[in-house]
Amino acid sequence: MSNALTTLKYNAVIIESTETKKRLDLTSSLVFCDYFEDILSPCVTMTMQIASTYSIFNNLPIRGGEKVSIDIETLSGNFKLVDDYAMYVYKVSGIVSDGAKEYFTLHLCSREALTNETARLQKKYEKKPINDHVTAILKDILKTKKYKSVNIEKTSNSYSFIGTFKKPFHILTWLGPKSIPATTVSGRNGTIAKGVAGFLFYENRDGFHFRSIDTLVSETKSQSGSTSKESIPKYNYNPGITKSGDLAANFNILNYNFEQNIDLMKSLRVGMYSNITYFYDLYQNKIEGITYRLNSEINSKLGGKSKIPYPKDFGNSPSRILFRSADVGILDKTGRIEDSGRDNTDMAKSFSRYNLLFTQSLNMVVPMNVNLKAGNIIYAQFQRVEAGQGAEVDPEQSGNYLIKEVRHHFEGNQMVSSLKLVRDSYGLYGAK
């Protein structure tokens, strides 16, 4: 058995009342707790199951908005959410008392998730690089104190928009498909090339991230904080018996299942392989048709195949026709119509890039590793089944995956990390 499954020490789990400022240590009352991250979620969340002989709910009291500081020691390192990274109570559920104990569940989120419900974007944002807008919203509207740890990737295009009293998280997510990464390519003059449009805004334990799909799936250091090949954790599915105390067991895959692998019908319906998008320009009263083919556009990917496999009998023909308004921005101070910084071709590409990222979906449970975070790359190795027995490495299913979701479960001898992994292509890097 892996030691990572059993090593747990609550150094401190402190809740502070908003009314009385009274502080209470919950470590002796914790049954278990779960921590969640997701690249499609703008905030992290957490749940805590409480069982106490003291009526915490009414005597503290807990009425929502209480600050919870967490310091948990595991074999893979300390799990800390304190000070600016502390969590806040937004809901209490399942309150039950049997006369001897009080049971309830605390639902927690980051402070910015609560601020998002009271903040609105009320002004016009002048034409600037989109990454500057993201930084300004985090700093000035959400007023996050995690500003120094945010990871905002540079965009090659600029954009102007009006906030129209929308919530910050809504706008930050809305700006994602409009953004094109600025990727440095090797060359004599160090030229800048546009990547495929499509960004994701999310929060993990490190802070907030606004990153392109191209960068998330790339092994190259095209920006500060991107994943390097050396830092990718490697996990192996080994169903055999392992010795107690074996360090390799900490990187064993306990169980897994492929939630989604091939769905040709769905891929054709959404136009992932090929589609035609007609853009109507409201100002010039013109229509432009763009034909998009996936296999000729995608360069950065997780799999090792030189090309993304697709059914040639169906994938070469457009399977979806879309109609959209051209994104031409808004009027500037002189009354001139501002350009959005991206053309209609970029908009067609971003649509397919998002769909491609979630082509393969894998659920996996591993011994607790608090260093696994949403948005990171993980290497998973599986054995090829031959004559009912595992043999050599399966070069198709094994390889790099992007961590879409993370759930860290803290409980006695059940210390596990549950992962949802996604991938856009098959194969190992370097496989022939």
Tens-digit pLDDT string for the chain (432 aa)? 678 888 899 999 999 998 888 999 999 999 999 999 999 999 999 999 999 998 899 889 999 999 999 999 999 999 999 999 999 999 999 999 888 899 999 999 999 999 999 999 999 998 899 999 999 999 999 999 886 667 899 998 888 888 999 999 999 999 998 898 886 443 334 444 456 778 999 999 999 999 998 888 875 443 444 445 547 899 998 776 555 566 778 899 999 998 877 777 878 887 878 888 888 888 788 898 888 777 666 656 676 555 666 677 777 788 888 888 877 766 666 656 666 666 677 776 777 777 778 878 899 999 999 999 999 999 999 887 665 555 688 887 888 999 999 999 999 889 999 999 998 776 665 343
Q: Which helix (H) or strand (E) covers residue 166, if one does?
A: none
Report residue 172: phi and psi, to 5°: -65, -35
Q: In the chain, helix, strand, coil percent, each to 5?
A: 20, 40, 40
H-run or E-run covering 254: none
Q: Tokens 């989120």 appear where?
A: 109
CA-based nearest residue to 352, from 301, 289, 287, 297: 297
pTM, whole model, 2 decimals?
Answer: 0.87
Per-residue confidence (pLDDT) for residue 288, from 0 to 100: 87
Residues near 315 by beta carbon (within 8 Å), at least 6 away in sequence? 273, 274, 293, 294, 295
| 428 within some domain | no
Residue listed under structure tokens 């749940």: 47
Q: 37 in a domain, yes or no? A: yes
165/152 same-domain check: yes
Largest CA distance in the chain: 76
Domain boundary among 151, 184, 216: 216
- Cα–Cα distances in angstroms (integers) from residue 120 to residues 117, 166, 418, in the given order: 8, 5, 35
Q: Return d(Cα 181, Cα 409) in angstroms, integer.
A: 35
The pLDDT, as a whole number, for residue 130 is 94
Three-state secondary-structure class, residue 103? strand
Q: Report yes or no on 373 lying in a domain.
A: no
Distances from the Cα of 172 to the Cα of 121, 131, 175, 203, 304, angstroms: 11, 10, 5, 12, 32
For 416, how many CA atoms within 13 A lie in the half-sphere containing its CB? 13
How far apart CA 411 and CA 50 sit, in angstroms, is 12
* Residue 110 and residue 17 in one domain: yes
Gyration radius of the chain's alpha carbons: 24
Q: Could you tell me if 157 and 200 lie in one domain?
A: yes
Q: What is the predicted pLDDT for the residue at 186?
A: 39
Tally of structural domains, the chain: 3
The C-alpha atoms of residue 46 and residue 9 are separated, in whole angstroms, by 18
In a shared domain, residues 139 and 58: no
Task: Give the domain-ending residue among 181, 216, 251.
Answer: 216
CATH assignment of the domain containing 204: 3.55.50
pLDDT at 370: 96
Boundaries of domain holding 164: 119-216
In the beta sheet, which residues pair with residue 252?
A: 236
Contact 366/419 with Cβ under 8 angstroms? yes
Domain ends where: 349, 375, 404? Answer: 349
User: Contact 287/237 with Cβ under 8 angstroms?
Assistant: no
Contact 410, 72 (CB under 8 A): yes
Inside any domain, residue 236: no
Would you state the pLDDT for residue 46? 98
